[in-house]
Amino acid sequence: MRVVIAEDSVLLREGLARLLDFAQIEVAAAVGTAVELLPAVEEHAPDLVIVDVRMPPSFTDEGIRAALELRQRDPELAVIVLSQYVEERYAVELLTGETSGVAYLLKDRVADVDEFLSVVRRVGDGGSVLDPEVVSQLLTRQRRDNPVEELTDRERQVLALMAQGRSNAGICEELYLSESAVTKHINAIFTKLGIPPTGSANRRVLAVLQYLAANSTPDRGGRQP
């Protein structure tokens, strides 16, 4: 796996590079600005990009905007976004559409070396990883409509079990359904929730997020991240 790192903090940038090198993951380039990131990716054609949300010159959203641009150019490029906080608008945009090979993590997660390296490998292999705090904040977003309400009782049961991490086989066993029946219900769930055909695992993630959002209590205090 070849990786390009974009992080303005020299200590974190060098630390990530050494950590990946220790894990025998090639670091093709490590840059300090989003402006440098784009040509570095073009030059080195990495499999994975690790990018900070806030980068020079304005330290607002340069990093994640660069990540979105890179994903638009090459949807197969894996991206790990690191942040000290949750940038809701861009997190939602990053997770809309094709979500394979995407992770949004708070920087605290880097402190757990084994966990972070596991995320790098999973995302590099096309998996999706969301920091629990990111999920928590996204679920406070107000929704004007709730497509989960359109699901039948059986579809809700299937989706609830998906949210518990059950496989299709596990759902079959729990609800005494055939595998074809479970597949039919899951496809109906994806259609009703407006989730387009992509990798099945990623569609499950998006479906579960909508289920959790529909069953959470919005934050009435209006707090911003």
CA-closest candidate to residue 172, choices 158, 189, 159: 158
Q: Which pair of structure tokens corresponds to residue 176?
A: 């005494």
| Element at 118 (helix H, strand E) | helix 113-124
Beta bridge partners of 129: 103
The domain in which residue 154 lies consists of 147-214
Contact predicate 81/5, CB 8 Å: no
Tell me, what's the pLDDT at 223?
38
Q: How many other CB atoms are there within 10 angstroms of residue 8's CB atom?
A: 17
In a domain, 151, yes or no: yes
Q: How many separate domains does the chain show?
A: 2
Residues of the chain with pLDDT under 50: 142-144, 217-225
Beta bridge partners of 210: none
In a domain, 220, yes or no: no
Same domain, residue pair 104 and 152: no
Phi, psi of 80 (to 5 degrees): -115, 120
Tell me, what's the pLDDT at 26?
97
Same domain, residue pair 70 and 122: yes
Tell me, what's the pLDDT at 96?
66
Domain boundary among 138, 169, 194: 138
Same domain, residue pair 105 and 167: no
Contact predicate 32/10, CB 8 Å: yes
Same domain, residue pair 28 and 119: yes
Residue pLDDT, tens place only, 48-89: 999 998 888 888 888 888 998 999 899 899 999 998 877 667
CA distance 224 to 86: 9
pTM value > 0.85:
no
Same domain, residue pair 27 and 98: yes
In a domain, 74, yes or no: yes
Same domain, residue pair 121 and 197: no
Edge-to-edge strand list for the sheet holding 102-106: 26-31, 2-6, 48-52, 78-83, 102-106, 128-130
Q: Can you give the CATH number for the domain in which 78 is found?
A: 3.40.50.2300
CA distance 123 to 102: 6
Contact predicate 220/142, CB 8 Å: no
Same domain, residue pair 129 and 153: no
Q: What is the Cα Rg of the chain in Å? A: 19
In a domain, 32, yes or no: yes
Same domain, residue pair 185 and 208: yes
Tell me, what's the pLDDT at 49?
97
